[in-house]
Structure 1
Amino acid sequence: METATDGQREIRRTLRDLLDRYARPTPEGYDPALWARMSGELGLARLALPELALACEETGRALAPSPLLATTVLAAPLVAALGTPAQRAELLPRIAAGELTCALAAPGGSLAHALGLTGDNTTGAWSGDGRAGGVQARPAPGGDGWLLYGEAAQVLDGHSAGLLLVAAHTGGFARSRTLLLLVRTRDAGPGLVRTRHAGLDPTRSPAAVQLRDVPAELLGEDPADPADITRALAAAGRTAAVLLAAEAAGAARGALDGALGHATARERHRLADLHVRVEAARTLTHCAAREPGPGPESGPLALAQALDALRDAAGEAVPPHDADRYGRRAIADALLFGPAGRLRARAAERTGLLGPAGEAAA
């Protein structure tokens, strides 16, 4: 790996110390005071991609529950890319300061598809395809805003977020289009019901979000261009893949360190190959973080490598409690953002190596 700068080493050292002391699951899913320090004092939302990848690696190593993924990695870039000047001026400073947490609700049940990681998000299938189900949007009476009706499952931090970014259909089936709308949860009224599920991994917080004529506002200018929305989702997905890879690689390193700490000399020799795979995942991740953009395939490929490394490292973790914790994270992340094989297949499709159906290109 490339030698870290003094600033990057300080970010890693400070965050590791903070997480080792205070990172614990809570009934709310995360510690708001710890998040305020991470986002406010350390300025995570203002870090450049390489430094943010280092921070994500540390949160992954500690399996730290926080709104970093849902708020900073997924939602904030969409507000920055699509929001009106007034929306950006109101929301982004509060997000950066740790005062406002967010969640992205993609009703189709496949967040990875919505972000363009495992499929073409220009098709409507990931969000219900305009048919029954998903979330439907209709203009509010008097033309002041929108009303949302429907539900979304597996919304990361959806139970506690102060702002929901909801992908919803409008226009009926024949003229269906997907929009992103903002729901301010404090003002949503009784029509918003949010139920947190235990999930596979207690450090992630998926929730079911039900909306029954919940008031919302369009993210961005009216009329919104659905092509702009899918492009912004795909761009957010490419960056999210890099940071998710950093988290997974950090978790793999944490599991491996635990295994090495309990290993005999013979077992340490056996773990040498796993060490190489984990370090390869970390190197790919930091290379992807340094690329401008990042490149359309580097992030998903790094994520695939990191998910595989985490799965293998979780199988070696000791004591049994650690093996269970890392194993749950490996399975949960593969279900939410993978699996690794599908990430690689989509990257190959984008480069022209495979056709849309997965056949080798002529």
Structure 2
Amino acid sequence: METATEEQREIRRTLRDLLDRYARPAPAPGPTPEGYDPALWARMSGELGLARLALPELALACEETGRALAPSPLLATTVLTAPLVAALGTAAQHAELLPRIAAGELTCALAAPGGSLAHALGLTGDNTTGAWSGDGRAGGVQARPAPDGDGWLLYGEAAQVLDGHSAGLLLVAAHTGGFARSRTLLYLVRTRDAGTGLVRTRHAGLDPTRSAATVQLRDVPAELLGEDPADPADITRALAAAGRTAAVLLAAEATGAARGALEGALGHVTARERHRLADLHVQVEAARTLTYCAAREPGPGPESGPLALAQALDVLRDAAGEAVPPHDADRYGRRATADALLFGPAGRLRARAAERTGLLGPTGEAAA
């Protein structure tokens, strides 16, 4: 990693102090309806301006939240949803939503109904086909024009929606146009105005710091994100771009969690066992260096983020296996397993990166 600037060091010091004082691992289910501390999030987003940070500085912030295993809307709101609103939204949507997101007043969630968020983001599969969102067949979410011609109505279900139980804004991938002319577009659902047709069921999940929900929509009013008619190719490109950035930030978070696990273990091991932890520390630092290389602008290549994430997931798994006391081992182990299920596994991330760069064909065989 390049030498940190004074601004970056100050961000790290301020955020670490804030998290060390206020962040707590979320029990399942959490003590608040949100599953995180809204006051802490207001300070992180409003006072520290996390949503306005450039990629390297935001990676640093994610590293610190990972170290603390701090539950917050940072991933669902700032990393996954806000970039899509910024990339695809109209000027009016930007003016209404982005300042509120940046100030921490509005939290968001991305609902991809196909069952694989990593596929929707192009991390583990080709998202230019409709398979990741149900392919226009049974299931998924369907969109139809409202009878009065004002907006759209959404009908269907999406599972494993991060922060979907509490977000004030849902960004829902839905099909429209019927089977023959099916297109997957993105729609805005303002949960405050959704009515009784919106049912959100929170699940405890494997990792209590990653709250997820099943979102059911029964003729829920929605607004198309962007201009109408929207180009589905623009949407898949924006999803893939958001996925590559998210991979960098998830890698930073995972390496931060791995460092947290090792820091806790150092006080509970013998001198001989410290040698084993030293070897693992070298692996964590290598993953961290790869992550910050991917975060640097202009970056070294579009696949550097997914490859950094694959490496970070591996080292987090190994570090979680060394964590002590048992409570820490359980916390970090749950995060490692949950992230591998949501955004990996590491082998699939590497295979997709190799396929995109031409090293492997679409079937996973070595290219000639």
TM-score category of the 2 structures, normalised to the smaller one:
over 0.9
Partners of 2:94 and 2:298 in 1: how far apart?
A: 23
Tell me the SS of whatever aligns to 1:190: helix
Report the aligned-residue RMSD: 0.9
Residue 201 of structure 1: how far off its partner (Å): 0.3
Asked if the contact 2:294–2:300 (Cα under 8 Å) also holds between the matched residues in 1, the reply is yes
Partners of 1:37 and 1:122 in 2: how far apart?
A: 38
Residue 295 of structure 1: how far off its partner (Å): 2.7
Asked if the contact 2:293–2:299 (Cα under 8 Å) also holds between the matched residues in 1, the reply is no
Tell me the SS of whatever aligns to 1:103: strand
Alignment of 1:184 onto 2:190: yes
Residue 294 of structure 1: how far off its partner (Å): 6.9
Asked if the contact 2:37–2:72 (Cα under 8 Å) also holds between the matched residues in 1, the reply is yes
Residue 271 of structure 1: how far off its partner (Å): 1.5
Partners of 2:275 and 2:6 in 1: how far apart?
A: 32
Asked if the contact 2:33–2:166 (Cα under 8 Å) also holds between the matched residues in 1, the reply is no
Tell me the SS of whatever aligns to 1:310: helix
Find 1:163's aligned residue among 169, 172, 178: 169
- Per-residue CA deviations over 1:3-28 (Å, capped at 9, x if unaligned) read 21111011001001101111127452
Asked if the contact 2:294–2:305 (Cα under 8 Å) also holds between the matched residues in 1, the reply is yes
Partners of 2:18 and 2:9 in 1: how far apart?
A: 14
Residue 356 of structure 1: how far off its partner (Å): 0.5
Partners of 2:8 and 2:40 in 1: how far apart?
A: 20
Alignment of 1:200 onto 2:235: no
- Per-residue CA deviations over 1:263-284 (Å, capped at 9, x if unaligned) read 2110001212111111111110
Worse overlay, 27-36 or 62-71: 27-36
Find 1:152's aligned residue among 153, 158, 178: 158
Asked if the contact 1:239–1:294 (Cα under 8 Å) also holds between the matched residues in 2, the reply is no
| Mapping of residues 106-185 of structure 1, within 5 Å | 106-185=112-191
Partners of 1:63 and 1:188 in 2: how far apart?
A: 32
- Per-residue CA deviations over 1:285-307 (Å, capped at 9, x if unaligned) read 01100032673100000000000
Partners of 1:26 and 1:325 in 2: how far apart?
A: 19
Partners of 1:252 and 1:352 in 2: how far apart?
A: 31
TM-score, scaled relative to structure 1: 0.99
- Per-residue CA deviations over 1:294-347 (Å, capped at 9, x if unaligned) read 731000000000000000000000000000000000000000000000000000
Partners of 2:33 and 2:230 in 1: how far apart?
A: 38
- Per-residue CA deviations over 1:231-279 (Å, capped at 9, x if unaligned) read 0000000000000000000000000111122121100012121111111
Worse overlay, 268-277 or 85-94: 268-277
- Per-residue CA deviations over 1:19-67 (Å, capped at 9, x if unaligned) read 1111127452111110010000000011010000000000000000000
Match of 2:8 in 1: 8
Worse overlay, 163-172 or 263-272: 263-272
Partners of 1:209 and 1:215 in 2: how far apart?
A: 14
CA 293–211 in structure 1, closer or farther in 2 if over 3 Å, else same: farther
5+ residue gaps, structure 1, are none
Tell me the SS of whatever aligns to 1:262: coil
Tell me the SS of whatever aligns to 1:141: coil
Residue 142 of structure 1: how far off its partner (Å): 2.2
Tell me the SS of whatever aligns to 1:356: coil
CA 280–234 in structure 1, closer or farther in 2 if over 3 Å, else same: same
Tell me the SS of whatever aligns to 2:165: coil
Alignment of 1:329 onto 2:339: no
CA 44–294 in structure 1, closer or farther in 2 if over 3 Å, else same: farther
Partners of 1:181 and 1:136 in 2: how far apart?
A: 11
Find 2:225's aligned residue among 211, 216, 219: 219
Partners of 1:283 and 1:38 in 2: how far apart?
A: 25
Partners of 2:138 and 2:257 in 1: how far apart?
A: 39
Partners of 1:215 and 1:309 in 2: how far apart?
A: 43
- Per-residue CA deviations over 1:142-171 (Å, capped at 9, x if unaligned) read 211000000000000000000000000011
Worse overlay, 266-275 or 96-105: 266-275
Partners of 1:266 and 1:231 in 2: how far apart?
A: 50
Alignment of 1:244 onto 2:250: yes
Match of 2:19 in 1: 19
Partners of 1:318 and 1:12 in 2: how far apart?
A: 25
TM-score, scaled relative to structure 2: 0.97
Asked if the contact 2:293–2:300 (Cα under 8 Å) also holds between the matched residues in 1, the reply is no
Asked if the contact 2:8–2:57 (Cα under 8 Å) also holds between the matched residues in 1, the reply is yes
5+ residue gaps, structure 2, are 25-30
Partners of 1:52 and 1:241 in 2: how far apart?
A: 12
Residue 172 of structure 1: how far off its partner (Å): 1.2
Alignment of 1:297 onto 2:303: yes
Tell me the SS of whatever aligns to 1:180: strand
Worse overlay, 299-308 or 28-37: 28-37
Asked if the contact 1:238–1:294 (Cα under 8 Å) also holds between the matched residues in 2, the reply is no
Residue 130 of structure 1: how far off its partner (Å): 0.2
Partners of 1:27 and 1:182 in 2: how far apart?
A: 22
Tell me the SS of whatever aligns to 2:307: helix
Q: Give the ranges of 4+ consecutive aligned residues of structure 1 lying more than 6 Å apart after TM superposition.
A: none
- Identity %, equivalent residues: 95
